[in-house]
Each structure stands twice: as C-alpha cells, then as structure tokens.
C-alpha cells in the first residue's frame, strides 16, 4: 500500500533534523498560517485578480492543505524517532500524540516551535552517529 507511511518510512532521522527539513517545516507553517487567514476571510482575492495573483492563490489552495499533512506527519515521525532514541519519553509521547491529533496543524506548529527546533539545535552540536538512521 502506497501512502504517507510508504514515504515517511524512507525518511531517516538525519534528514528530519537537517537544515533543509527544518526550512521545509517552517515554510509549511507559514503556508498553514496563510491558508488559515484565507479560510477565515482575513485574506481575500478581491474583484480584479491578475493571472499572477490567480496562480498565487491557486498555489496556496493546493500547497496549503498539503503543508498541513506534511508538517503533521513530519512532527509525528520526529516524535517517533525521539521515542526510539530515549525510551523514557514513551509515557509522555501518548500525551504528545494526543495533543498533535487534537490540534492537528496548530498542534504540529506548536510542536515544531517548542520541541522540534530546540531538539534540532541540540542535535547540531552533538554527533549524529548515535541517532537512529
């Protein structure tokens, strides 16, 4: 069966804590904020929309919801890697997974800011040799 598990099972911890992954997760967070603003009417296309604006709005409509899935599954996968690396986190991970499911994309954004980024900074200073690959 092909799906997100097929993709995320091929992702290593080294990639998840890499600079490109952090940038992509950050960009996904920005897109989620823009999509949320559009859904609640804070941003509207207006009456006269040029071709360039139509492409931008269309791109936001396509990549915004995809970024929700990307960020949520990426943060969930990062939490799984943390559990393997530190078995003491298993008890807290149930709460974290619950919060990720309740907040869906907002929970994933908070997790990205409060857990992922600090852990990534620590991993930059440590050797990656002991991490799960």
Q: Can you read off the two tokens belonging to residue 117?
A: 């980024």
| H helical segments located in 1-132 | 4-8, 13-16, 19-39, 51-85, 90-111, 117-125
Please state the domain extents for the chain: 12-123
Provide the 8-state DSSP code for 18.
S
- Phi and psi (nearest 5°) for 98? -60, -45
Q: Can you read off the two tokens belonging to residue 92?
A: 């807290």
Q: Can you read off the two tokens belonging to residue 124?
A: 């930059």
How would you write the pLDDT of the chain (133 residues) with one tens digit per residue? 455 566 667 778 888 888 899 999 999 999 988 888 888 877 777 667 788 888 888 888 889 889 988 998 888 888 888 888 777 776 777 788 788 878 778 889 999 999 899 988 877 666 444 555 4
């Amino acid at each position: 069966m092909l799906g997100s598990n097929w993709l995320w099972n091929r992702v290593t911890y080294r990639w998840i804590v890499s600079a490109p992954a952090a940038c992509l997760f950050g960009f996904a967070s920005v897109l989620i904020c823009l999509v949320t603003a559009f859904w609640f009417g804070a941003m509207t296309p207006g009456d006269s929309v040029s071709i360039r604006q139509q492409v931008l709005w269309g791109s936001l409509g396509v990549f915004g919801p995809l970024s929700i899935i990307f960020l949520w599954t990426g943060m969930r996968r990062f939490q799984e890697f943390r559990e393997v690396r530190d078995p003491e986190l298993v008890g807290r991970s149930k709460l974290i997974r619950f919060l990720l499911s309740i907040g869906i994309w907002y929970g994933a954004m908070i997790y990205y800011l409060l857990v992922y980024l600090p852990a990534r900074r620590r991993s930059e200073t440590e050797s990656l040799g002991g991490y799960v690959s």
